[in-house]
């Protein structure tokens, strides 16, 4: 198994967006599994300053939609600071993984559940996130990140004595949301936890 790199976008507090490359053990290894692992893969462990961080290279930091604020050859982002992330893949895993997942869903008779998540407020800003997932939420609540498909994100912020909603543009509809920053949740279709 040869290590590879994948494009990853990490969003931290107040909408700061880090876009760069992350090392993965192989092309078929899911980014979701990488960040949910108790032992994050580092191609070169000598670069590691924090046990709970991910190493990124060729990174651009965006503060808003107007352009790049700063560039880094490499940077470490602490997992506890990540609110959500997405990679270049439009869904979880490659074609083989997707086929396996489809078969497992059919055998277990699981249906997608739609969830609405409100993140913790940082400053005058929080996220209102909706999306679908498969499986028991109770199990997913033990992971660092919850994978969501059909994701929709609103950034909510306070400006000049009123709350404003801003739709967050995503390249596709798959993201992973941090359990650390989750403040509240509800199931939209009324299904139990």
* pLDDT value of residue 116: 95
111 burial (CB, 10 Å; 0-12 / 13-18 / 19+) is exposed
* pLDDT value of residue 16: 92
Q: For the chain, how are helix, strand and coil distributed in percent, rounded to 5? A: 15, 45, 35
Q: For the domain bounded by 4-87, which CATH number is listed?
A: 2.30.30.100
For the chain of 193 residues, list the mean pLDDT of each consecutive stretch of 10: 82 90 82 78 71 89 91 93 84 52 56 88 93 73 84 94 93 89 85 49
**Start and end residues for every CATH 2.30.30.100 domain found in the chain:** 4-87
Cα within 13 Å of Cα(41), Cβ side = 19
Q: What CATH number does domain 95-187 carry, 2.30.30, 1.10.3470, 3.30.43, 1.10.10?
A: 2.30.30
């Amino acid at each position: 198994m040869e290590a590879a790199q994948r494009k990853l976008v990490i969003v931290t507090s107040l909408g700061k967006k880090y876009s760069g490359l992350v090392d993965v053990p192989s092309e078929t290894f899911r980014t979701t599994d990488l960040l949910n692992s108790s032992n994050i893969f580092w191609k070169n462990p000598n670069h590691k300053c924090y046990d709970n961080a991910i190493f990124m290279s060729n990174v651009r930091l965006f503060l808003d939609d107007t352009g790049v604020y700063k560039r880094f050859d490499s940077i470490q982002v602490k997992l506890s600071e990540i609110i959500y992330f997405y990679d270049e893949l439009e869904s979880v895993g490659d074609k083989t993984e997707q086929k396996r997942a489809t078969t497992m869903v059919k055998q277990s008779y699981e249906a997608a559940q739609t969830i609405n998540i409100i993140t913790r407020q940082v400053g005058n800003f929080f996220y209102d996130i909706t999306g679908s997932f498969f499986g028991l939420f109770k199990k997913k609540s033990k992971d660092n990140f919850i994978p969501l498909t059909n994701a929709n994100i609103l950034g909510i912020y306070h400006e000049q004595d009123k709350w404003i909603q801003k739709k967050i543009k995503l390249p596709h509809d798959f993201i992973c949301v941090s359990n650390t920053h989750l403040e509240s949740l509800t199931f939209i279709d009324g299904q139990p936890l």
